[in-house]
Amino acid sequence: MGLVLGGALSVQFGSAIAALLFPRSGVAGAVTLRLTVAAVLLLAVCRPRLRGHGRSDWAAVGAFGVALAGMNSLFYQAIERVPLGPAVTLEVLGPLALSVITTHRTASWCCALLALAGVALLGRGGFDRLDPVGTGLALAAGVMWAGYIVFSARVGRRFPGADGLALAMAAAALLTLPPGLAESGTALLDPTVLALGGAVAVLSSVAPYTMELLALRRLPTATFAVLTSLGPAIAALAGWLVLRQRLSAGEVLAIGLVIAASVGAVRINAAAAPRPGRR
């Protein structure tokens, strides 16, 4: 649980910094910087072994890479058009839907619905002013986020350490490199842009994805998906601290609902998990 929460804090504050990068690099350029720097760092640290893996292993890595590229590209396009808090509120509907689909306990369904109510309340104050294209992009990013959770778990089981993540990140970087270079060109080589891009890569990709990959080896997918519903609450905090976006009383109440739902889901799944000596 600590790995998931630490990753959520890292990625949302990284997104806030990325929003500051857009005027210098463009949206596609920011995505390219984030994924390319992250891929280089992960490949250098992990040095993944390329031999000894079957076709299904590489298919999982490829699908994971597509999910990473799509999730990041769609989300960054969304937060260019809508505020960070509402964008994450819409995006988190993907993992919530995954949680409802994969769980088999009535109490877990109730927790997911409570989290959904909190998400709806958190975005209520901003939905009336949202750009329709940005809304659609955020929802599409949520679909890719659900795919990321599924394929991250599969890759984590097939590859040791963070090797699978490093390979998938490299695939995602290659997918986003052409549009990033076409939009930004030599602006990506500016020292300030590179420094901000490196910070975004570490905060939004290297640290959180590594934490989540390790967490998914220990947590059920449904529990992980509900825990990610904390994203809007953390995004609202990041928006307040970094982007000077204020929190209303309704948003504070929504944060409480989402946290209560997440804690409830964790307790329910922990109680149902097998214990030593029990089958």
Q: Per-residue pLDDT averaged across 35-45, rounded?
A: 90
pLDDT tens for each residue of 190-224: 888 888 888 888 888 788 877 877 887 777 766 77
- Residues 4/219, Cβ–Cβ less than 8 Å: yes
> For residue 73, with 0-12 CB atoms within 10 Å meaning exposed, 13-18 middle and 19 or more buried, which class applies?
buried
**Distance between the two ends of the chain, CA-based, in angstroms?**
23
pLDDT in the model for residue 140 = 94
Output the CA angle 37-158-217, nearest 5 degrees. 85
What burial letters (b/e) apply to 185-207, b meaning 16+ CB within 10 Å?
A: eeebeeeebeebbbbbbbbbbbb
Least confident segment among 97-101, 111-115, 177-181: 97-101
Give pTM, 2 decimals: 0.78
pLDDT by residue (tens digit) across 126-162? 555 567 888 889 989 999 988 988 898 888 888 887 8
Lowest-pLDDT range of 33-37, 54-58, 73-77, 249-253: 249-253
